[in-house]
Amino acid sequence: MESDELRIGTAEREEAARLLADHFGMGRITPDEYETRVTDAYAATTLGDLRPLFRDLPQPHPGFFGPPPPMYAQPTMYAQPTMQLPMYAPPMPDPYAPPAPVPYAPVPYSYRSKTVAGVLQIVLPFGAGRFYTGQIGLGLLQLFVVLMTGVGMIWPIVDGIMLLNNGGLDAQGRPLRP
């Protein structure tokens, strides 16, 4: 795999150019040498084209060159540790992508029926449908309004029609069965 005829890609060329920039920043090569070597690195097609660019430079060398030569194999007081970088980074998530859809979870229906609740409200207009759905507070309020005022009998009848038309919720917040 470490043959000089092995073809390289853009990632290897960019890693070589980055390491040459590091050597230039440390003063190991002149600006003219840097420009020539980077141009040669981007023009390289094989490992053999990149190796001469680093022959006279100390570590770090590109990680895809393989292990360092034997004279660097044993660490000394002045040797720089080498770190091999992965050739390809894992893909980053797209920050502009829409959020993933949330799977639909159906709400469980109540075991009580909207038809029974609506008919009870209309036939017994003093909150019987609301007592049936488990909404005791609303049922007591309708009972109180009907007993105190005769005109208040309209509210449970309209409420019964609304229950038959649109349905409603039981005391636990579940929709009434159709």
State the residue range of the domain holding 154.
114-166
Assess if residue 82 is contained within a domain: no
Tell which wins on pLDDT, 79 or 90: 90
Assess if residue 24 is contained within a domain: yes
9-39 residue pLDDT tens:
898 999 999 999 999 999 999 999 999 999 9
Assess if residue 93 is contained within a domain: no
46-73 residue pLDDT tens:
888 988 898 888 888 887 776 555 554 4
What local confidence, expressed as pLDDT, does residue 37 receive? 92
Helix or strand or coil: residue 7? strand
Q: Which of 37, 52, 69 is the last residue of a domain?
A: 69
C-beta atoms surrounding 169 within 10 Å: 16
120 class by beta-carbon count within 10 Å (0-12 exposed, 13-18 middle, 19+ buried): buried
pLDDT for 40 beyond 90: yes
Q: Which amino acid is at 171?
A: A
Looking at the chain, the whole-number percentage of residues with pLDDT higher than 70 is: 84
Q: DSSP letters of 84-121?
A: PPPSSPPPPPPTTSPPPPPPP-PPPPPSSBHHHHHHHH
C-beta atoms surrounding 167 within 10 Å: 18
d(CA 92, CA 11): 16
112-153 residue pLDDT tens:
888 998 898 888 877 888 888 888 888 888 888 888 887 777
Tell which wins on pLDDT, 159 or 94: 159
Assess if residue 25 is contained within a domain: yes
- State the average pLDDT over residues 82-101: 69
What local confidence, expressed as pLDDT, does residue 19 receive? 92
Give the total number of structural domains in the chain: 2
d(CA 83, CA 9): 20
Assess if residue 43 is contained within a domain: yes
Assess if residue 17 is contained within a domain: yes
What local confidence, expressed as pLDDT, does residue 102 receive? 74
What local confidence, expressed as pLDDT, does residue 81 receive? 52
